[in-house]
Amino acid sequence: MVLTAANVGSLMQHNETPVLVDCWAPWCGPCRNFAPIFEQAASEFEPHLRLAKLNTEEHQSVATRWQIRSIPTLILFKGGREVARVSGALSLKQLKQWLAQNGQPVGK
């Protein structure tokens, strides 16, 4: 799912399913390297965890509101509230470990 300034509020407020957001930009090399890992995670983790991407260049108001200081940044939301964040590209294994450490186990 692609997040925009227009749909971010409704997704966060009306979603019982936890949401993992990848904050990225087209010019960011590590973001481009992480993109296929995030896509693989989406195919493995959904529907138990919703995955979404936010282009911080196109939606700077959201990036500012969320205080994104570096990219890529992953933010885990539960019940519309941020519960965890990590900056930097992760491997799929590291992503699973980080999610488990933050109360969102996603399997093997």
Catalytic residue among 28, 41, 54, 62: 28
**Tokens 């992760």 -> residue:** 90
Q: Confirm whether 31 is a catalytic residue.
A: yes
Catalytic residue among 23, 31, 41, 71: 31
Q: Confirm whether 23 is a catalytic residue.
A: no
Query: Which neighbouring-strand residues pair with 51?
Result: 20
Angle formed at CA 70 by CA 68 and CA 75, multiple of 5 degrees: 50
Longest Cα–Cα distance of the chain, Å, equals 36
What token pair was written down for 104? 């969102």
Catalytic machinery residues: 28, 31
